[in-house]
Structure 1
Amino acid sequence: MTAPSTAPAPPSRGGRWIQQWDPEDETFWKETGEKVAKRNLLFSVLSEHIGFSIWTMWSVLVLFMGPEYGLTPADKFLLTSMVTLVGAVVRVPYTFAVAIFGGRNWTIISAGLLLVPTVAAFAVIKPGTSFNTFLLVGLLAGIGGGNFASSMTNINAFFPLRKKGWALGLNAGGGNIGVPVIQLVALAIIGASGGPRVLLGIYIPFIVVAAVLAALFMNNIENVKNDTGAAKDAVKDGHTWIMSFLYIGTFGSFIGYSFAFGQVLTNQFGRTPLEAAYVTFIGPLLGSLIRPVGGALADKYGGAKITLYNYVGMGVATAVLIVASMQKSLGLFTVAFVVLFVLSGLGNGSTFKMIPGIFQTKALAKGLEGEAAAAYGRRLSGASMGLIGAVGALGGVGINLAFRQSFLSYGSGTGAFVAFLAFYAACFVVTWAVYLRRSAAKGQATTASEAKPQLSYAEV
């Protein structure tokens, strides 16, 4: 089979457009496609990584904001809640932006937009600034959360089915690590007695570099189109909303705790910003690194099983946090919180891995076979992922609002952890009832272990 041409599209679309792209053609992939795809992946990871850092920068900035800023713990939790909310909401339009503007073009735009919240924060972060101003500028930082959705959509188009798991896993993990990296940079700055503007000043040139590199080395794919029909079908499918609920428990926990961990340590245990910064990065770092492991375990044992047992682990870790919080045991609290981060990262991989298995099983139930079944699974799982990612991120909003209310009511985070424990119990029940309870009469056998190997592209 002759390898398709990778010549640019007609001049009207510009020189960075690839008119023909068929990564499933092995000859094309080996001769041309792989090199181009990996190059785009590299610069996509860079942009998404910085996007995550900017999205979560207020989890760090609030550590710099001492009594002279006049903000209460409740104010700070409300601020981080709103940042998380915007990051979740913008994931939906960001998912469709790639097909409208082109992957390269949107990477340039979305990276450049990160300058807005960063420069704005640089201008206002000083004592005497009103809380409403901080809230408005914080809302702008939420756009960094959208970079994940557009980046995953873009990279998904570049790789063949057999390589999507690896590519999307690397893309997601590289982005998530932006959370601990900005916390590590903040640790160094606080340790050197620097201020928040130093942190922001460091990131401004990196944002510019990411946008320029995307312009120089990335590509748009001509045949990437938005399938509005698939999006509508995904919205109507109950499994999209069930998996969104489960993803709230995993990714929602990861991003919510990333924003809240440092604040809990300073407000409940009296840690200084420097002391808090010494440990806050550990949980997000380990949670990011272990995400692909969750997908690999799901490959081997079934996504629903791993997700089920993972929620058991999250429940146990949360119960330990409740005890540590009540006993004011900083050491036990810190260890249990880091374990909870790790489990949230593991669950991120296993829950996303369930999605193709679910839609593949539905395809088979409809009487589809072979490539027709695979195409149905790809279409529905791809359309649902953006929505599931957006809804899942809303869990971070709930976590920060729960901490805010807990500190207002009890002066500690104990009440919030009790609520989280109840939610993880609900996730356990839903996972078992929908995906693991055997019901031959209904034909419901939708564990990820039943997904055909070619559908492992959702291993992220």
Structure 2
Amino acid sequence: MTAPTTTPAPPEGGRRGRWIERWDPEDETFWRETGERVARRNLVFSVLSEHIGFSIWTLWSVMVLFMGPEYGVDPAGKFFLIATATLVGAVVRVPYTFAVARFGGRNWTVFSALMLLLPTGAAYLVMEPGTSYGTFLAVAALTGVGGGNFASSMTNINSFFPLRKKGWALGLNAGGGNIGVPVVQLIGLLVIGTAGATHPRIVLGVYIPLIVVAAVCAALFMDNLAPVRNDAGAAGEALRDRHTWIMSLLYIGTFGSFIGYSFAFGLVLQTQFGRTPLQAASLTFIGPLLGSLIRPIGGKLADQYGGARITLWNFAAMALATGVVVFASVIESLTVFLVGFVALFLLTGLGNGSTYKMIPGIFRARAVEKGMAGAAADAYGRRLSGASMGLIGAVGALGGLGINLAFRQSFMTAGTGTSAFVVFLLFYVACFALTWAVYLREPAPAAEAAVPAESGRSRLSYSEV
């Protein structure tokens, strides 16, 4: 059998750019000789673009630290600004997911990177006292396009890697993107610590050339996969599959927590513990940084032990860490609060990696449940997992909106975030129960791997996804 080639074919049907006509990562010979090199190159530049996208999406978690009394925006108003950015970022993830198949992963990465110039440039123009709150709200909404980059990037990279490598690849792709959150916060800290809290435009000026670099690198070094086609049937099938919605709920608990806490951390420190902008900025980046760095480890552990098992015990640990945060809020101890909150960030990152690893494994198991085997099951798993990832990512990101709205309500009614954290704790307990009930209570007989019984290999159940 001739190994698939990665030589870009001539443009067809008016398409332009670097197109790979055949792609079979599950073929070990193809993967070893050609596929891995191409996939890793695309992964590197996908991470770069997604990294900057996350920085722009979470830009207002930094901008609000610059908004002193002269801006006339109270804490509730600031929480609503970052909640707006979270909401838009969640919603645009759905069209961004399907744009990869419509326009090509490379082409869409170039376009989506350049789109980041719009919210960054707009923020540069309006970031000063005297600007109306409605204007700030509109500009904060624009930053949501950065949140969409995650969905298109993950869908694209999912298509490049074989199932056995997806946990590592998706974890690295997402973790490298997530690091954009602490990086923009570190830049904000550097600006506040050197130029003062009256120069937010310096932060924005740093990112404008970086956005251009990301777009140019994507144009020069990434590829489009022609076999990845928009499939309305796959989208509809993913919508009807209960596992899409179960994983969406679990992803609310992991990624929704990560992005919600990343947006809110600095404001909580200022509002509940009376930290100055410089003091808040010097602490805000720590949690998102650690949560981002550990995400690939979560994916790697899921590859080795099963995503469902890692996810289950991760939710138990998240509930415990949240209990520490509630205790710290009650006794008003900043030290204990930071210990619990940073632990929460670490666990959200670990859970992000393990939950995303579960998605392709679940749909591969669903293919076997439908009687498919071998290459047909592999193709079905890629098709459905790619379609579902954007939906799961969008719903998961809405968890960040819920967290910010919960904080807003908690501070408006009680002056602290304690009641919000109690709600989060209960939700993590529910996610623990859901993971156990669906994926670990007992093996799903129909969801066995496509290996002959006589081969002697253990068959896959949902506990191994």
What's the TM-score once normalised by structure 2's chain length? 0.91
Is the partner of 1:14 in helix, strand or coil?
coil
Residue 452 of structure 2 is matched in structure 1 by none
Residue 312 of structure 2 is matched in structure 1 by 308
Residue 399 of structure 1 is matched in structure 2 by 403
Q: Measured at CA, do residues 223 and 59 of structure 1 come closer, stay the same or move farther in structure 2, by a change above 3 Å?
A: same
Contact 2:25 2:162 in 1 (8 A): yes
CA–CA distance in 1 between the matches of 2:339 and 2:459?
36
Contact 1:107 1:214 in 2 (8 A): yes
Query: Shift of residue 316 of structure 1?
Result: 1.2
Query: Shift of residue 381 of structure 1?
Result: 2.5
Query: Shift of residue 446 of structure 1?
Result: 9.1
1:230 aligns with 2:198: no
1:414 aligns with 2:418: yes
CA–CA distance in 2 between the matches of 1:306 and 1:5?
37
CA–CA distance in 2 between the matches of 1:372 and 1:409?
55
Which range is displaced more, 345-354 or 197-206? 345-354
Contact 1:358 1:446 in 2 (8 A): no
Residue 323 of structure 1 is matched in structure 2 by 327
Contact 1:358 1:451 in 2 (8 A): no
Residue 10 of structure 1 is matched in structure 2 by 10
Contact 1:360 1:451 in 2 (8 A): no
Letter in 2 for 1:36: V
Letter in 2 for 1:310: N
Query: Shift of residue 304 of structure 1?
Result: 2.3
Query: Shift of residue 49 of structure 1?
Result: 0.5
Is the partner of 2:131 in helix, strand or coil?
coil
* 1:392-441 deviations in Å (ceiling 9; x for gaps): 01000000000000010001111111111121122122222222223x7x
Q: Measured at CA, do residues 175 and 299 of structure 1 come closer, stay the same or move farther in structure 2, by a change above 3 Å?
A: same
Unpaired segments of 5 or more residues in structure 1?
A: none
Q: Measured at CA, do residues 26 and 310 of structure 1 come closer, stay the same or move farther in structure 2, by a change above 3 Å?
A: closer
Q: Measured at CA, do residues 215 and 75 of structure 1 come closer, stay the same or move farther in structure 2, by a change above 3 Å?
A: same
Letter in 2 for 1:264: V
Is the partner of 1:9 in helix, strand or coil?
coil
1:290 aligns with 2:294: yes
Query: Shift of residue 20 of structure 1?
Result: 3.5
1:82-161, aligned counterparts within 5 Å? 82-161=84-163
Query: Shift of residue 4 of structure 1?
Result: 3.8
* 1:189-215 deviations in Å (ceiling 9; x for gaps): 111024110000000111111112222
CA–CA distance in 2 between the matches of 1:100 and 1:229?
14
Residue 454 of structure 2 is matched in structure 1 by none
Contact 2:369 2:446 in 1 (8 A): no
Unpaired segments of 5 or more residues in structure 2?
A: 450-457
CA–CA distance in 1 between the matches of 2:130 and 2:459?
57
CA–CA distance in 1 between the matches of 2:98 and 2:381?
19
Q: Measured at CA, do residues 42 and 356 of structure 1 come closer, stay the same or move farther in structure 2, by a change above 3 Å?
A: closer
Which range is displaced more, 356-365 or 226-235? 356-365
Letter in 1 for 2:218: A
1:127-206, aligned counterparts within 5 Å? 127-194=129-196, 195-206=199-210
Contact 2:168 2:303 in 1 (8 A): no
Contact 1:297 1:350 in 2 (8 A): yes
Aligned CA RMSD, in angstroms, stands at 2.3
Of 39, 53, 56, 1:54 maps to 56
Residue 221 of structure 2 is matched in structure 1 by 217
Residue 36 of structure 1 is matched in structure 2 by 38
CA–CA distance in 1 between the matches of 2:252 and 2:53?
20
1:253 aligns with 2:257: yes
